[in-house]
Structure 1
Amino acid sequence: MSRKALNGGGQSGPAIKPLATMQARDAAKLESFRSALNRARFNKSIGKLADKMFATKSRPVNEAYSEKTFRLTNAWKSEFREALARAESYLPSTKAVTQEDKRALADFIKKLKELHRGRPRGGSPRRPAMAERTAAHLVLERLKYMREKTGAKRISKKSGIPAKLIADARKEVSLHFSVPAAKISADNIARLVDKK
């Protein structure tokens, strides 16, 4: 008896089974997609029909229905965004008629702008002071390097070297910190250098 006979006559039998199962699986996926699409279309048509029907109902029923649809459409939003969406839906429906209404709207927009601004940074007033400390550190490092290079214990102010180093450090730091050089005090840098 040959090996083909023992294996069932050939290799075509096992290869056909996976193909048939894949086709059946694809057909099931296609059918589930079609049914989901039909349900979505049906739900959309029911929603449109409900909108038409509730438009003719009394005002309290219509308001309750519109409230429910608003909550459903904004359920995924945070409380703040939901409140903004509610305000956005109310504003076009009513117009600011009187001066008081216009003032109230202006106050509301002013508060929104304050919220939009967020937390104050607080870093800008401290930038010149930070730049001065950084410049003093640069000057000290350069003076230390010059002392090591020349072998001197001190570099006097009368030589003009510290003043030149302060001016150079001031320019570098003003570029780095984005602070105008006029706001960085050379006297403060010299004082910080003398402290060390």
Structure 2
Amino acid sequence: MEEIMKGKFITFEGSEGSGKSTHAKLLKAYLRKKGFAVELIREPGGTKISEKIRQVILDPKYNSMTDICETLLYMAARVQIVKEVIKPALKKGKIVICDRFLDSTIVYQGYGGGINLDLIKKLGKLATLGIKPDLTFLLDIETREGLRRAGKIKDRIELKSLDYHRRVRKGYLTLSKKEPSRIKIVSVEKNNKQENQEIIRKYADRLLCR
């Protein structure tokens, strides 16, 4: 029997330098002002165990890490935060905003790294405990510009090739075509924060009926 979740789950996705973290924080502040109980988390991370895994995944000194190892580490971090944070918050009726979720693994390790998509989805079903986002914002940006905005200090993922990151962006756009009702594309090319937030708020209000 499927558990009933009283809350709503919103995720932010996008390539490097797309501004996910910034927009997630702005949406959190907006929804709290409207009276919602909001939990903001990031992936990988959000729990003691998941943050440790994050350090390993992103550390450039582990540049010999295989794509399948990377995939499994992301899934391990994910199941921990779903169990500890996401599921309990949704049961309490909170709005959970997550900076990245399963879509990231599908596009980065799948489209980018070449791991079988069906395998990722099977592992994802296990790691998410059946939790799926109600709404996903895909912040889209041209690959070179995104990497430029990400800054000079690069983590292990950001240091991957330009072709890799282009495959990631293509993967995101492919996903958005498959699930247009859930995944809403927000072009952040012009970097107009206020305009982009208005679009994000419109969809969030529609989801929450306010």
Q: State the TM-score, normalized to the length of structure 2.
A: 0.23
Q: Between Structure 1 and Structure 2, which shows a larger proportion of helix residues? A: 1
Q: State the TM-score, normalized to the length of structure 1.
A: 0.24
Larger RCO of the pair (alpha carbons < 8 Å, separation 6+): 2
Q: Which has the larger radius of gyration?
A: 1
Q: Between Structure 1 and Structure 2, which shows a larger proportion of strand residues? A: 2
